[in-house]
Amino acid sequence: MKRVLLIRTYRDVGAGGAVPPSGLLYVASALRKAFPGDCEIKFLDTAFESDPAAAVAAAAREFSPDLAGFSVLSCEADFALTLAAAVKKARASVFTVFGGPCASVSPAQVLADGSVDACVIGEGEVTAVELLSALSSGRGVEGLAGTAARSGGKVVLGPARPFIEDLDSLELPAWDLIDFEKYSRKSNWNGYLKKKFYAPLLTSRGCPFHCVYCHNLFGKKVRARSAENVTAEVMLLREKRGVEEFHVIDDVFNFDRKRALEFSGLIAERAPGLAFSFPNGLRADLMDVGLMRALKRMGTYKIHYGVESASGRVRKSIKKDLTLEKVSSAVKLADREGITTAGYFMLGFPGETEAEMKETADYAAASDFDAAYFFKVTPYPGTELFNSLPAENRPSVSGGFFSAGPAASARDAEINAALLYAQRKTYLSPRRLARLLRKSHSLPGLLRTLPGFLAGLLLVCISSALGPPRRGK
């Protein structure tokens, strides 16, 4: 019997709680399909462990896995390596594998640590099956497509694995491995929930746009599941697991308008009463009246749009092909349907001036967004933004977190001041408060809009009390 321990590494950065990890659960389903009756899988989410290292070590001792797989974000690198070392110490023979963005963009750095035996690069379903097959038969994994592994003191990269074209061919995620009750008790990136149990929903992979700050892990071609396939997953989770709310996490859900309309129609017909949120996945410039109304009919109550900057020059420099007119139009469409909106903004791009940062803050404050969230630019490895920077200005890992790169320089105080200005301008605005009260003319309306506003206001209070963060010397 093959034994696989799947570990979701989670580091709380104060931006929201844990979300059920669909990526690892897709891998679990692929392994079950490939080795029916001959593969036992244990899943552990460190988000629920007071001592994650002790928890993974105990799981390794008690479960005795042949393979331990970790899903790792770049900002979790140091933390994940600590967990891998704990697993190795508890069970020396276990084969440890990193997947996710960290492994895909920085395999050499990951494998420099002796606690990790291999990295999965790109999509993991097919590669995980081949890895386990090779290990079970006693074959080496060096040179396997979609992997990086150590051999003779060197890192051996296998050939790139082609993307999975037919996503309907994948088994649905192994949702039975998780307890939705646990996730419902933890805050999440949506800010609040309308229903008790929720699940992420990935309906497509890939993004055709070229924003310089984004990873390109799924490629530039959009590969989409059929509307029927996604609907089947929604119905299964509703009927078997009690899930009543879904958060769509595609890169660009509305790239194919016809498919988006078909899916919305199927949900409205077959599963009325569900709640949908889009913390990601919707392009403002691809929205129209018909699609917005269809999303409303299927139960959509909140939409987040990535705007990033109000400066046309900055948007052009970061290849954000989006106009503010399109954003404003999309927000108004949502407002007419009673859908809450939030905007994402970033401050501190290389070359961005103080005036341009102020322009972004002023736009967000004057906009019709119900909430606005501001972030310091962090160039992550593997992105065009990161690669465009001089080596001395690239972020480094310290304590498991990436610094802000150019933002963590002499401009730090300037950018922190811009962030505080943006937060105060947005959440201490009498106009915004009046809009909130006007829009929330009923208790349900107030409950939809108030959490995002209060979260922003709390952030302002904390920032004002602590002052701008200072760099250590």
Say which CATH number the domain at 39 has: 3.40.50.280
Task: Tell me: do 383 and 278 sit in the same domain.
Answer: yes
Q: For the chain, how many structural domains are there in total?
A: 2
Pairing of strands 95-99, 118-120: parallel
Q: In terms of residue numbers, what domain contains 117?
A: 2-157
Tell me whether residue 168 is in a domain: no
Tell me whether residue 6 is in a domain: yes
Task: Tell me: do 214 and 142 sit in the same domain.
Answer: no
Tell me whether residue 407 is in a domain: yes
Question: Is 363 within 8 Å of 327 (Cβ atoms)?
Answer: no
Q: What is the pTM of this model?
A: 0.89
Task: Tell me: do 151 and 211 sit in the same domain.
Answer: no
Question: 305 forms bridges with which residues in the sheet?
Answer: 343
- Domain at 434, CATH number: 3.80.30.20
**For the segment 159-192, what is each residue's pLDDT rounded down to a tens digit?**
999 999 999 999 999 999 999 998 888 766 666 7
Residue 197 and residue 245: Cα distance in Å, rounded?
6
Task: Tell me: do 371 and 311 sit in the same domain.
Answer: yes
Tell me whether residue 373 is in a domain: yes
Task: Tell me: do 192 and 133 sit in the same domain.
Answer: no
> pLDDT truncated to tens, each residue of the chain (473 aa)?
999 999 999 876 554 567 889 999 999 999 999 999 999 999 999 999 999 999 999 999 999 999 999 999 888 888 999 999 999 999 999 999 999 998 998 899 899 888 999 999 999 999 999 999 999 998 889 999 999 998 888 899 999 999 999 999 999 999 999 999 988 887 666 667 888 899 999 999 999 999 999 988 899 999 999 999 999 999 999 999 999 999 999 999 999 999 999 999 999 999 999 999 999 889 999 999 999 999 999 999 999 999 999 999 999 999 999 999 999 999 999 999 999 999 999 999 999 999 999 999 999 999 999 889 998 888 888 889 988 888 777 766 544 434 444 444 557 888 889 999 998 888 887 777 766 666 554 445 455 555 555 555 555 554 443 443 333 22
Task: Tell me: do 223 and 360 sit in the same domain.
Answer: yes
Tell me whether residue 64 is in a domain: yes
**For the segment 112-162, what is each residue's pLDDT rounded down to a tens digit?**
888 999 999 999 999 999 999 999 998 889 999 999 998 888 899 999 999
Question: Is 422 within 8 Å of 374 (Cβ atoms)?
Answer: yes
Task: Tell me: do 228 and 120 sit in the same domain.
Answer: no
Going across the sheet that includes 39-45, the strands are 39-45, 2-8, 67-71, 95-99, 118-120, 147-151, 154-157
Q: How far is CA 350 from CA 313, 353, 379, 400, 401, in A?
A: 12, 9, 10, 23, 20
Task: Tell me: do 342 and 435 sit in the same domain.
Answer: yes
Q: How far is CA 38 from CA 31, 131, 198, in A?
A: 9, 15, 31
Task: Tell me: do 249 and 342 sit in the same domain.
Answer: yes
Task: Tell me: do 20 and 85 sit in the same domain.
Answer: yes
Tell me whether residue 126 is in a domain: yes
Task: Tell me: do 200 and 119 sit in the same domain.
Answer: no
Tell me whether residue 162 is in a domain: no
**Main-chain dihedrals φ then ψ at residue 119, nearest 5 degrees:** -125, 140
Question: Angle at the Cα of 249 (from 245 to 253), degrees rounded to 5?
Answer: 105
Task: Tell me: do 144 and 198 sit in the same domain.
Answer: no
Tell me whether residue 179 is in a domain: no
